[in-house]
Amino acid sequence: MGKLSVNLCGIEIDNPIIPASGTFGYGYEFADLYDINMLGTFSFKGTTKDPRFGNPTCRIAECTAGMINAVGLQNPGVEKVINEELPKMAKVFNKKVMANVSGFAIEDYAYTCQKLDACPEVGWLEVNVSCPNVHGGGMSFGTDPKAAAEVTRAVKAVTTKPVIVKLSPNVTDIVAIAKACEEAGADGISLINTLLGMRIDLKTKKPVIANTMGGFSGPAIFPVAVRMVYQVAHAVNIPVVGMGGVSTAEDVIEMMLAGATAVEVGAANLIEPYACRNIINDLPKAMEKYGISNLKDIIKGA
């Protein structure tokens, strides 16, 4: 059997499969279906400093080869996550978990990351810079290299664990932003977050999503994700976590060839709750088919 383990920012994980934030809750929701300890790790639901109710409904729209969502970072806030969610998670998951953090100001990111950095359950901090910059007119931190770097520096100043910055694909130069994060001290980059999409109901002649637009994910965005992972992985010297439309073991191999050290699986979890389990089980056979004995050997192999 081929070797599936990889090293992500200094932490060895059994395999590269990571359920993406927002598609796997806090893990225990899936623990009744299968042993989630078979996962490399998982990125839990996006956490903010304060509780958020999220956007009004309708929040989800189906579309060809994907879906659009505008949940709006609904979460109980970092204090409740630490005091209530992580203890429940620890009962069913005995590995380090990835904490996904969002914010609306640099101080929010720093506060939330510092709190989560102190949690023994947390192995990595995945910092989502796709949120609006409240002090910068509402533009996403992740669309500007300088702003993304400022968030990275602020988080690194108050944490000791690996910081992986999650980038938005809704930009013209993804490489410039990734390099700015690396120079600011990021330990890794994860991409891509969702593309911006929209659907219109022909009967009502109004947008399906109450928020008008939302994040487009699913198999349709996979080629865009592979392209961006390839570009970033060949421009930085830190690990890249690839995601975007991944749903099969073959997709994982392709993403790793493009340059990903680990691979997150998102929308597929919402369609098939056993998606990550199935991918892990299928990986050895796919590796044998393509003559791969060690997944570490194919990273950035394309």
Which of the residues are catalytic? 131
Taking a C-beta distance cutoff of 8 angstroms, is the pair 161, 125 a contact?
A: yes
User: What span, in angstroms and rounded, lies between the C-alpha atoms of 149 and 121?
Assistant: 26
What are the structure tokens assigned to 110, written together? Answer: 């720093």
Helices H / strands E in the chain, number of each: 10, 15
Q: Which of 275, 276, 209 is nearest to 15 (CA)?
A: 276
The rounded distance, in Å, linking the Cα atoms of 39 and 247 is: 15
Residues 6+ apart with CB under 8 A from 156: 163, 184, 185, 186
Q: What token pair was written down for 208?
A: 């399906």
